[in-house]
Amino acid sequence: MPPIPPTWLDKVVTRALEGSRFEVRSTPQARNSVFHDQRPACCGSASCIPICPVGAKYDANVHLNRAVTAGATVLPRATAVKLELSPDGKIAAVHFRRWDLTEGIVKAKVFVVACNAIETPRLLLASRSAALPQGVANRSDQVGRNLMDHPVQLSWALTNEPVYPYRGPLSTSGIENLRDGEFRKERSALRIEIGNDGWSWPVGAPVSTAADFAAQGLRGKAMASALAENTSRHIRLASLTEQEPDPENRVSLDADEHDMYGVPLPRIQYRLSDYVTDAMAWARELHTAIFTRLQVTQIQHAPEFFGAGHILGTTRMGASAESSVVDPQLRSHDHPNLFLVGGGVFPTVGTANPTLTIAALSLRAAAEVQRQLRDEA
């Protein structure tokens, strides 16, 4: 598909940065730019989070619906609580609990766990047994380790001219030429996302802007025109930094707390290294340089990092069963009929949003599952 068209804000930033070290590029997206695959093109309604009302943005329902059409059975409101091992080292069954606490078991030739990088290791660790005291798929002791995100430095400011944010997808362009270089010996790489969502992420605008004006006594037309004048000039930048794998950043099982099904809650240890925090400081300098070119006012930098919500690592991929959890086909090194699909398999994370890579790896795993089922038929 062609790129999502740049917003007016993208064009203003691109023009201001011409001849500088910053190169603005269109961002690849899992969202339709034209009618495709029975789903419409993005119409710019800006509600991508929490949900796209027209289905232009991909979500898991697309393939869930196809699976159901192809004959799959979905068990709604059911939670997998344990993987059961058979004596030959394969997974024999998955035990689940329904919302009303009744229990069920599914037996299969192949199991695919795709619960993202917190719940997947939680399920594997909670499936520990006398035969596998460290949990399922965990001979390497790597399950739950190397939890990563793209720690974010946010900065925002007020432009002189309207740039008309709060419309279109949250971001359509970014600065991508800072993702590699000699500097990575000292600090992590980053990409700079140009936000179409104004000051929404850092301060909850435009609602917070309206609240501020209301507190100043503005009402009626005065409020409406002040809001339009101010919010049309909101600009936000976000540097998403590369976080290196750290075995002590990890998901483990809480020793005391359990969910309603009796499964231990995940316990999360997470910290940023100097390698990352140095990149965040660099990001503030870069954002200031960009804002200076744009001749903005009211520059602010978030004092703390924000999470990107890109939950990655914890079931890392690798060639060696001693130091990784899955092979390049996303198959567990320890259990030949168990596949772990999702962002957990990333051994490192780069700087880009992970969705498209997760999709590509899932297609690779799906082909392998299909081959394995055919061979065993």
Does 61 interact with ligand SF4 (rule: CB under 6 A)?
A: no
Asked if 52 interacts with ligand SF4 (CB under 6 A), we say yes
Query: With binding defined as CB under 6 A, does residue 47 bind ligand SF4?
Result: yes
| Catalytic residue status for 310 | yes
Q: Are strands 152-158 and 171-175 parallel, antiparallel or unpaired?
A: unpaired
Q: Give the range of 51-59, 62-70, 156-164, 328-336 binding ligand SF4 by CB under 6 A.
A: 51-59
State which residue, 29 or 241, has the beta carbon closest to ligand SF4. 29
How is the beta sheet containing 171-175 ordered, strand by strand? 24-26, 171-175, 190-195, 234-241, 152-158, 297-301
Which residue in 33, 44, 114, 318 binds ligand SF4 (CB under 6 A)?
Answer: 44
Structure tokens at 160: 């002189």
Q: Which is nearer to ligand SF4, 232 or 372 (CB)?
A: 232
- Inter-residue contact 238 to 170 (CB < 8 Å): no
Q: What are the residues whose beta carbons fall under 8 Å from the beta carbon of 149, sequence distance 6 or more?
A: 243, 307, 308, 309, 310, 311, 312, 349
Shortest Cβ distance from residue 60 to ligand SF4 (Å)?
15
User: According to the binding rule CB under 6 A, does residue 9 interact with ligand SF4?
Assistant: no
Contacts of 55 (CB under 8 A, 6+ apart): 39, 40, 62
Is 57 one of the binding residues for ligand SF4 (CB under 6 A)?
yes
Q: How far apart are the first and last CA of the chain?
A: 38
- Among positions 219-278, residues that touch ligand SF4 (CB under 6 A) are none
In the chain the beta strands, taken as DSSP E runs, fall at 24-26, 78-85, 91-98, 103-107, 111-113, 152-158, 171-175, 190-195, 234-241, 250-258, 264-269, 297-301, 338-340
Of 199, 179, 176, the residue nearest 189 (C-alpha): 179
Verify binding: residue 54, ligand SF4, rule CB under 6 A. yes
Pick the stretch among 37-45, 101-109, 206-214, 332-340 that binds ligand SF4 (CB under 6 A). 37-45
Q: Does 342 bind ligand SF4 (CB under 6 A)?
A: no
195 contributes a contact to ligand SF4 by CB under 6 A: no
Position among 12, 13, 42, 251 found at the interface with ligand SF4 (CB under 6 A): 42
Residue carrying structure tokens 């924000």 = 306
Q: Closest distance between ligand SF4 and the C-beta of residue 200, in Å?
A: 13
Rule CB under 6 A: choose which of 9, 12, 48, 147 binds ligand SF4.
48
Q: In terms of DSSP bridges, do strands 152-158 and 297-301 run parallel, antiparallel, or are they unpaired?
A: antiparallel
Q: Is 31 among the residues that bind ligand SF4 (CB under 6 A)? A: yes
Report the C-alpha gap between 132 and 326 in whole angstroms: 17
Smallest distance from ligand SF4 to CB 165, Å: 13
Are the CB atoms for 190 and 351 separated by under 8 Å?
Answer: yes
Q: Is 261 exposed, middle or buried (0-12, 13-18, 19+ CB in 10 A)?
A: middle
Closest alpha carbon to 301 in 311, 293, 309, 289: 289
Using the contact rule CB under 6 A, the part of the chain among 17-25, 42-50, 100-108, 136-144 near ligand SF4 is 42-50
Count of positions on this chain that bind ligand SF4 (CB under 6 A): 14
Scan for tokens 């990092």, then name that residue.
Answer: 305
What minimum distance in Å lies between the beta carbon of 312 and ligand SF4?
A: 23
- Restricting to residues 81-140, name those near ligand SF4 by CB under 6 A: none
Distances from the Cα of 281 to the Cα of 168, 190, 270, 285, 288, angstroms: 29, 11, 19, 7, 11
Q: Does 45 bind ligand SF4 (CB under 6 A)?
A: yes
Closer Cβ to ligand SF4, 49 or 373, answer by number: 49
Catalytic residue among 287, 301, 310, 333: 310
| Helix/strand/coil for 5 | coil
In the complex with ligand SF4, the residue whose CB is nearer, 168 or 245, is 168
Binding of residue 168 to ligand SF4 (CB under 6 A): yes
Question: Which residues form the interface with ligand SF4 (CB under 6 A)?
Answer: 31, 42-48, 52, 54, 56-57, 168-169
User: Which residues are part of the catalytic machinery?
Assistant: 310
